[in-house]
Structure 1
């Protein structure tokens, strides 16, 4: 893989998809339908998916593309693949809460090694550089010219006063019970893959997810967090979360800054 090319293409496609999404988001009305698993889908999901898929297939025709909106791709597998969630946080989008993201990642041998997370309504953009390190780009954004980049790094956590981030739309008692095992200084809620990015920037130390997710939900955020020095492990045994699993489904997991003393499930 040409990582310089990958960085440019992923960033550009994320920005272009963000423009398409925001055009629909800012319209007077948009249709919301239910998929077979009862999750919502909008024209924004589908338009962003079409744009990103066309761009990735043109740039990297030899690499398997897995995307949430194309069910046939969920049956394919390879040792390396691109994985896309064109609009993560559709519920946030539908309720016009702004916490939704465009996610594109590249996975090699089970590890998400590069990724981009773009939150167009919040004007926040995070991505891994060609060298694997993670940055946040300051807006306004130009798809043809990279703006001011700030390298990001996880916090040095204080286990007596942890900063925790949890899901905005999927918070439940099991999550609260697990968080209750820690000494928490402050807790915030966020939607979509932004939670990984808040750990990556040091705005949070710990993000536990006790609920169903798919690999396209997490791969880009996982890559950004890893490039900032963070880690993602399985909830049950604290072994690394890997990718390329059957139907691309994740177990429960914990994303964190190393130094957090992880509690048992």
Structure 2
């Protein structure tokens, strides 16, 4: 994969998909349907998926594509692929809370190498540059021209006063019990893959996820966090979280700045 070609494509597709999503988000009403696993899906998920999938297939026809909204892609096998969640945080979207993102990532040899996370309602854009470094872009988000970018670096964590971020919609008792093992100065909740990005910017030190996620939920945020010097490991044995797993389902995991002294589960 030529990253100099990849990054402008996925950034543009994320911005264009975000515009489609916001048109629906700002409408008077939108339908909410249920998928086979009872998770919600809206016209925004479907429209964003159609736009992104068409763009990726046109630009990279020989690369395997996995996307949440196309069940037939979930049977694909491989450890190198593009992976998409066109609207991560559908529950946040439905309740008009703003914590939803467009996630596009490229995974190579099981590792999320590059990615973009765009939160159109929050006006925040995070992506990895071609060289792998993570940046946050500010400005008007022109699809064809990158605006001002700020390099992202994880926090120099103080283990006596950690900043913790966790899921807004999926805060389990197990997650609370694990967080209680740390000395916490502040706790915040956030939706979607924004939690990875808050660790990447240094706004949080650690994000534990003791709950179900899929690879399309995490790959883009994972790539951004890696590009800012962070890490993502399995909850059980603290080995790196790998991609291309059976059914693209994740185990529990911890995303964190390297200065955090991880506790055992």
TM-score by length of 2: 0.99
Q: Counterparts of 1:1-265 in structure 2 under 5 Å?
A: 1-265=1-265
Secondary structure, in 3 states, of the residue corresponding to 1:142?
coil
1:9 shift after superposition: 0.1
What is the CA deviation profile of residues 97-125 of structure 1, one whole-angstrom value per residue up to 9, with x for unaligned ones? 00000000000010000000000000000
1:87 shift after superposition: 0.1
What stretches of structure 1 move > 2 A for 4+ residues in a row? none
Secondary structure, in 3 states, of the residue corresponding to 1:250?
coil
Contact map agreement 2:17 2:52 (CA 8 A) in 1: yes
How well do the aligned residues superpose, as a CA RMSD in angstroms? 0.4
**Separation (CA, whole Å) in 1 of partners of 2:225 and 2:115:** 9
Any stretches of 5+ residues in structure 1 without a counterpart? none
The count of corresponding residues between Structure 1 and Structure 2 is 265
1:80 shift after superposition: 1.1
**Separation (CA, whole Å) in 2 of partners of 1:77 and 1:108:** 13
**Separation (CA, whole Å) in 2 of partners of 1:173 and 1:139:** 39
**Separation (CA, whole Å) in 2 of partners of 1:116 and 1:89:** 15
Contact map agreement 2:86 2:102 (CA 8 A) in 1: yes
TM-score by length of 1: 0.99
1:246 shift after superposition: 0.3
What is the CA deviation profile of residues 219-261 of structure 1, one whole-angstrom value per residue up to 9, with x for unaligned ones? 0000000000000000000000000000000000000000100
**Separation (CA, whole Å) in 2 of partners of 1:28 and 1:116:** 29
